Amino acid sequence: EGLVPVAIKVLHPGLYRTVKRDLSIMSGIAWLLEWVPGLKWLSLSEIVNEFGDLVMSQIDLRHEAANLERFKEHFADIDAIRFPKPIRPYVRRDILVETFEEGEPITNFLTDDSSECLKAKLAEMGIEALLKMIFVDNFVHGDLHPGNILVMNADCYNPEQCNKLMLVDMCDTVIVNVKPVDNPIRLVLLDVGIIAELEERDRLNFRDVFTAVVLGEGEQVADLILHHARANECKDVAQFKREMAALVQTARESTISLGQIQVGELLNRVFSLLIYHKVKLESNFANMVLAIVVLEGLGRTLDPNLDILEAAKPILLGTNGH
Decide if 143 is catalytic: yes
Residue 177 confidence (pLDDT): 47
The strand ranges marked E within the chain are 6-10, 81-82, 86-91, 95-99, 104-105, 140-141, 149-152, 164-170, 173-179, 186-189, 195-196, 231-232, 279-280
Annotated catalytic residue, options 22, 53, 112, 143: 143
Residue 166 confidence (pLDDT): 46
pTM of structure: 0.80
Residue 91 confidence (pLDDT): 96
Residue 271 confidence (pLDDT): 78
d(CA 70, CA 288): 18
Angle, CA of 299, 188 and 265, to the nearest 5°? 25
Residue 278 confidence (pLDDT): 83
Q: What burial class does residue 218 get, using C-beta atoms within 10 Å of its C-beta: 0-12 exposed, 13-18 middle, 19+ buried? A: buried
pLDDT of the chain, 322 residues: tens digit per residue: 678 899 999 999 899 899 999 999 999 999 998 888 777 777 788 888 888 888 888 899 999 999 999 999 999 999 999 999 999 999 999 999 999 999 999 999 888 677 888 888 899 899 899 889 988 999 999 888 889 999 998 888 776 655 554 444 445 554 544 445 566 889 999 999 988 888 888 888 888 887 887 777 888 888 888 877 766 778 888 898 898 888 877 766 665 555 555 555 666 777 788 888 888 776 667 777 777 777 766 777 788 777 777 777 788 776 444 4
Q: Is 225 left (phi over 0), alpha (psi -120 to 50) or beta?
A: alpha
Q: At 163, phi and psi to the nearest 5?
A: -130, 100
Write the DSSP string, 64-92: HHHHHHHHHHHTTT-TTEE---EEEEEE-
d(CA 185, CA 207): 29
C-alpha 264: how far from its chain's center?
Answer: 13
- Helices and strands of the chain, counted as H and E runs: 10, 13
Which H or E run contains 199?
Answer: none
